[in-house]
Amino acid sequence: MSVRMIGLVSVSGVLLLAATAGRAWMPVPFPQLEQELQSVNPGPETRALAPLIGAFNIVGSIPARALAEDQPEMRSRGSHLCRWAVGGLFVQCDISDTARSGKTALTWTGRVTIGWDYQEKTYRAVAVDRQGTVGMLEGAMRDKVLSLALVSSNTMAGKPFKYRLTFDMKDPKEIQFTSEVQQGEKWVKTEIKKLTPAQKPG
């Protein structure tokens, strides 16, 4: 994944485009730079994310042995609140999900920002959480199913791992969500959830 970090440096009235990982640094003509920095309006790829906007209840489960050898199946529930951000180009979701209850409850809290990258022509996302981790994901949408796989280098319990998130938005009143971890050549489901619109008070 190449993350474009743009820095503008003024040298005798000439603006230079700073380069990023995996790409050679090259000055560009000023008209091209101006074009690159123009704001864009949300297109069909962005509008396809609209079913995620709103407040949802999360209900589902974590299959037995999905995260650890002796881990039992765990029921979970939580909340999922998404809003448009950055001029309606990105979906910003605040998520809280709790497995089990009482003193043994395990809660995951984080923020996921999803959007269509208009320069790279692909869906990308950034996930941050209360465990202090940052995951960068990339993927595609087909038939209202958005699949995003981890492309950054991340670890769990000190070991490298890859995960994939899938949102099936065919029915906006019951979005199907799955999380998977890669084990060798196969993907193993670690979460199976349903997102249903939260009832408004009153």
Asked if residue 24 is part of any domain, the answer here is yes
pLDDT for the residue 68: 77
Percent residues over pLDDT 90 in the chain: 60
pLDDT higher than threshold 70 for residue 192: yes
pLDDT for the residue 24: 61
Residues 31 and 118 in one domain: no
Give the structural domain span for 154.
Answer: 44-197
Residues 81 and 53 in one domain: yes
Asked if residue 96 is part of any domain, the answer here is yes
Percent residues over pLDDT 70 in the chain: 86
* pTM over 0.75, yes/no: yes
Mean pLDDT of all residues in 48-76: 90
Mean pLDDT of all residues in 8-19: 35
* Residue that the structure tokens 């619109």 belong to: 197
Residues 73-125 pLDDT 10s: 889 999 999 999 999 999 999 999 999 888 888 899 999 999 999 999 999 99
Asked if residue 202 is part of any domain, the answer here is no
